[in-house]
Structure 1
């Protein structure tokens, strides 16, 4: 009996210590104090005087640049034959790349004036924030009678751009008879992407970038606003919700995720005891452990390169338009649907037109922004950024998470609950992938509007 009592005491102590550790790990970490006016431009901050003016921005491209691109695309292509029977499993299929380059040179570029006019259909602006020239699209609804107008910060990711939102913006800014809400959309090019200036200083990571985007909304007079984003837009939106909850009316993402310290334990429960955490109808969204790990390893090689040596791969791509197109468009194949890897054309035109895809490539090319866009990965994986421990800080603003089945990965509500403490909407869509705004804009729009309606009808906890 003495040994049994000792065992019970030992087990009780272990249980108590485990529970204490659990409480410690699941407790919200403090919000880090960051300088929201830190200077990120070139040279000395002492010589900097911010120009707060908001100016119209002309995205026109010099004809000489287009002519030079035509000459580069006219050079003989020296490519290796793909392996027999291979689609995109080894990367971009060289046979199909020849067709893309030919279309780019012979069909797309001759009508560049038309494509440029398409990109100009929305008003473009720029302003200076913390030493950086920030470009953004700003679209206000033309008809607002009987509608509540809400400001919306729409955030893209990599290898996307504001081009991702050209189908979504008209839906958001046109009054919908089925909804009382219409939106004033602000869609910035992330600093270092497209027409926005990249940082000249180190440690400009996602946390610091999110403050620049928050400051953009304040510059435009929006003390409170909604946020929507996928890919980097998801992380940046979450960071804004953490660092500036007083400014965020609601946060909606089509790529909700967290690296909370406890998430791996919850994933273990999902993998080994799926029936306890995953509804039968949602099982197709969650791959078996081995399959999920293998897929993420296959698809994350780019992130390791960009997270360690962004300038090397950036230099390679900026000097080679064919390589740039292959590198970017390959993601629009596999991330749209992993099954497309088996196809010789990567399934690229199953969801997109070549014009749409090349518009996005052109934004990187004409602005020479591939290197500065990739530096965000290096800064995100730095010790300085990870030391902020933002994933351990709870998000209390109303949150909506939309899952599209072919996206790179998904988390259960249990896993998301480690960070998102006010999840008012959680949805599963059996169509679509990583680039939901381009692939299934109507579905994403409906999901977002339903989220907004819940935000303003459900009583919210006081912050």
Structure 2
């Protein structure tokens, strides 16, 4: 086998000098001055950032977080010229279903840390179990910075499908949220013979009716359109900057840990359900991974590949409009940026299961891991006969 195609064991190990450099930078942070207005209407408040800074500098323990993440077996390989990292947590159960979990932006594999063990080895033997694979999307986290452009959702899907082949997985379920939902959906398009089902929390705005011209059928659809309009008006600037000028914003993110933290902490705070906020240390772990892996710029490039004409051949709008004809389940969480609408989703996916959850938001695996686990178990039980 080509050495680049080999799947090798991997452990996270941030060099000591890199950790010392972060501590030095955090010790000399200069926070901006703030006007009398202290609401979140203009971004993360100085008070909130000050609390995160103190925790990151004085209380947060990266080595403990690193050891916790290293509890999970991990692998690394090279696919299509790009390094690809993944958690690979096999289940001891013979009847377990292969399941790939796909994060989005501004997340990492750490988003799924609270669901991996429960999915792989449930306490109740009557519940479905899973061989869990959690890739770092190309250009994100431990998959390292991108080596070239052109890494949109469909190229990522092909690379992840190849990783699964190398792990000996022939048929599997896929789950994704945010950018991960686009990659999970793309798996259903590019490898339908291998994907037994796709589970999505539509953690974005792609199905929020942005291209619709018909009138909303009910109040739920009207609410989705209003929420989408609010997002475009007051919450989408980050996406436009990521899509059009990722290199410009990268200078501040690559050189300033507090800049990196602010850029993503706002999303963890704004997109989570108020009833289930993301814990401070989970935000700091995510910021630390982006910082140590220097993937602020390359992860942002996903927006340019998906939301602008700069797309490689074979991954453009025509393919993206292709109907996903594998069984698809949707989890709808009330704190999501825009609530998904089943009628609209059915235009794009073969929906076989739709769950309205009582709590949770954009980062369901961090906010309400119990609900996400149960949703995945229910979907697996429904499609289990088709999973080898």
* Same structural fold, with TM-score higher than 0.5 when normalized by the shorter chain: yes
Q: Are positions 1:403 and 2:332 aligned together?
A: yes
Corresponding pairs, count: 383
2:75 to 90, 102, 125: 125
The whole-number CA distance in structure 2 between the counterparts of 1:150 and 1:94 is 46
Pick aligned residue for 2:233 from 292, 297, 309: 297
* Deviation readout 1:349-377 (Å, 9 max, x if unpaired): x6233222211111001111111111111
Matched, 1:94 2:46: yes
Question: SS at the partner of 1:148?
Answer: coil
Distance 1:441 1:286 in 2: 29
SS in 2 for 1:128: strand
In structure 1, what is the equivalent of residue 296 of structure 2? 370
Q: Tell me the equivalent position of 2:199.
A: 252
Normalising by the residue count of structure 2, what TM-score does the alignment of the two structures yield? 0.92
Say if 1:286 and 1:410, in contact at 8 Å, map to a contact too.
no
Q: TM-score, normalised by structure 1?
A: 0.77
Deviations 1:400-424 (A, max 9, x none): 000001111123221111111x211
Aligned to 2:383, which of 441, 449, 455? 455
What SS does the corresponding residue of 2:353 show, helix, strand or coil?
A: strand
The aligned counterpart of 1:331 is: 267
Unaligned segments of structure 1, at least 5 residues: 1-48, 276-282, 341-346
User: Which residue pairs with 2:366 in the alignment?
Assistant: 438
Quote the residue 1:419 is aligned against: 348
Structure 1 segments of 4+ aligned residues over 3 angstroms from their partners? 256-265, 288-292, 384-388
Aligned to 2:25: 72
Shift, 1:269, TM fit: 3.0
CA gap of 1:223–1:384, structure 2 versus 1, over 3 A, is farther
Residue aligned with 1:287, SS: helix
Contact 1:263–1:418 (CA<8 Å) still a contact in 2? no
Q: Which whole-Å CA distance do the structure 1 matches of 2:306 and 2:199 have between them?
A: 21
Give the RMSD, CA atoms, in angstroms. 2.4
3-state SS of 1:191 partner = coil
Q: Which runs of 5+ in 2 are unaligned?
A: none
Q: Are the counterparts in 1 of residues 271 and 361 from structure 2 also a CA contact under 8 Å?
A: yes
Distance in 2, Cα, partners of 1:292 & 1:373: 23
Decide whether the 8 Å contact of 1:329 with 1:357 is kept in 2: yes
Following superposition, the deviation at residue 87 of structure 1 comes to 2.6
Contact 1:135 1:188 in 2 (8 A): yes
Structure 1 counterpart of 2:15, from 48, 62, 77: 62
**Distance of aligned partners of 1:290 and 1:125 in 2 relative to their CA distance in 1, 3 Å threshold:** closer
Contact 1:50/1:131 (<8 A) preserved? no
Offset of 1:291 from its aligned partner? Answer: 4.8
How much does 1:290 deviate? 4.1
Residue 356 (structure 2) pairs with residue 428 (structure 1): yes
